[in-house]
């Protein structure tokens, strides 16, 4: 489970769409009090930062549409509360670049 802290435009198709799927999972856990992955480090860092998560979703959607994919799973904006800035990391952005490079995917990093 991971929400990247890397420019969404640089993500390959798999990482872009995968992040979108995982973002919805985290959103659901935090807004619907789901138990699965509630204590996962990636979920923990978004507690109190649903506005930041919402904004990341909006950026992902812009990129998804730009690439010609469809999007049919909007988030409820009224639930986007808390901080609009994500400043907690499981891996800092530099480490995330290294992780992506090791995957040898088509991310443009």
Domain ranges of the chain: 8-103
Q: How confident is the model at residue 98 (pLDDT cuts 50, 70, 90)?
A: very high
Query: What angle is formed at CA 13 by the lines to CA 74 and CA 69, rounded to 5 degrees?
Result: 45
Strand-pair partners of 49 = 82
**φ and ψ at 49, to 5 degrees?**
-135, 40
Q: How confident is the model at residue 94 (pLDDT cuts 50, 70, 90)?
A: very high
pLDDT digit string (tens) for 54-67? Answer: 999 999 999 999 99
Strand-pair partners of 82 = 49
Say what the pLDDT of residue 1 is: 85
pLDDT digit string (tens) for 21-65? Answer: 999 999 999 999 999 999 999 999 999 999 999 999 999 999 999
Mean pLDDT of 83-103: 97
């Amino acid at each position: 489970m991971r929400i990247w802290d890397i420019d969404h435009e640089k993500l390959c198709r798999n990482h872009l769409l995968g992040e979108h799927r995982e973002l919805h999972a985290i959103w659901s856990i935090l807004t619907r009090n789901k138990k699965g992955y509630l204590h996962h480090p990636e979920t923990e860092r978004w507690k109190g930062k649903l506005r930041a998560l919402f904004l990341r979703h909006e950026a992902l959607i812009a990129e998804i549409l730009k690439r010609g994919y469809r999007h049919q799973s909007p988030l409820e904006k009224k639930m986007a509360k808390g901080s609009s800035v994500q400043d907690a990391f499981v891996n800092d952005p530099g480490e995330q670049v290294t992780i992506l490079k090791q995957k040898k995917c088509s991310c443009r990093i």
